Amino acid sequence: MKRLENKVAIITGGAGSIGQITARLFLEEGAKVMLVDLKEDALQKAADELGGQNVQYCAADVTKSEDVQRYVNDTVKAFGKVDVFFNNAGIEGVVKPITDYPEEMFDRVIAVNVKGAWLGVKYVLPQMNDRGSIINTSSVAGINGSPNVSAYITSKHAVVGIMRAVAVEAAPRKIRVNSVHPSPVDNRMMRSLEEGFAPGHAEAAKKELEKTIPLGRYAEPEEIAQLVLFLASDDSRFITGTTQVIDGGLSVM
Ligand SMILES: NC(=O)c1ccc[n+]([C@@H]2O[C@H](COP(=O)([O-])OP(=O)(O)OC[C@H]3O[C@@H](n4cnc5c(N)ncnc54)[C@H](O)[C@@H]3O)[C@@H](O)[C@H]2O)c1
């Protein structure tokens, strides 16, 4: 039997790197998947690439309550229920010391990464089957400090707070809630941050960052997806309220 046979999953940030690759894995494991992201054209492209009847999409801004309620309702209309919520949409903000960090960018990062994650749980939970699984994407930035990305660090720590609070609230229904904490992943978001750390020298910034990771490289998005699949499936049925670090050893340094 496939690991997500007959399960319905919502993936926010579903047109992005980690979201789309996780959707592919979920589909291979028998799930029906609702992709949620900002732009219709990116979602259409992602759904076309994934293919088949078991993937649908909903364009929504996770910071807006009415959009969140719409993506939950669309999922229930399309597939009848929700079993897995991969609460994953996020933005990196900019790279600047806190003294120069634009307040409006701080507000935007908190709106997407914290309020978006909170609203998602708030509206998914009532439509989720008992024994469901919620996986929130935090980061090593949700466990450790790092200079010049204060809004991102703050937001990813807050994701742990949402996870811990709801793990206790949802436990009577045997719904599990965990967070994943990747180190840098080899994709668009890191290209943007590398450029911010060392304008014009992104490749050199990447090499420096890789030196800080004991296993010597960034994560691949597929590796994050494998961890999310484990947390989504019954293989992790006694795991709730945890911070799952996936970082090549970065956070022990
Ligand atoms: N890339 C990394 O190195 C890394 C490391 C640790 C954690 N993360 C986290 O992983 C998650 C996925 O990021 P990714 O690496 O796939 O990057 P990505 O930029 O490819 O994907 C993020 C997706 O979220 C979507 N999104 C942004 N704002 C939204 C909004 N308001 N409403 C709906 N969708 C919105 C974007 O359109 C994008 O498709 C994020 O939460 C990110 O913070 C990434």
One-letter amino acid of 82: V
Supply the angle between the helices 17-28 and 40-50 in degrees, to the nearest 10: 30
Closest atom of ligand 1 to CA, residue 61: 32
From the CA of 88, how far away is ligand 1's center (Å)? Answer: 6
Query: pLDDT tens for residues 111-155?
Result: 999 999 999 999 999 999 999 999 999 999 999 999 999 999 999
**Residue 20 CB less than 6 A away from ligand 1:** no
208: Cβ contacts below 8 Å, ≥ 6 apart: none
From the CA of 89, how far away is ligand 1's center (Å)? Answer: 5
From the CA of 114, how far away is ligand 1's center (Å)? Answer: 13
Strands (DSSP E) contained in 65-202 are 82-87, 128-137, 176-182
Q: Hey, what long-range contacts does 49-56 have (CB within 8 A, 24 or more apart)?
A: 49/20, 50/20, 50/23, 50/24, 52/27, 54/27, 55/23, 55/27, 56/32
Query: pLDDT tens for residues 57-116?
Result: 999 999 999 999 999 999 999 999 999 999 999 999 999 999 999 999 999 999 999 999
Domains in the chain (CATH in brackets) are: 8-185+220-252 (3.40.50.720)
**Residue 180 CB less than 6 A away from ligand 1:** no
Q: How confident is the model at residue 191 (pLDDT cuts 50, 70, 90)?
A: very high
Phi/psi at 101 (nearest 5 deg)? -70, 125
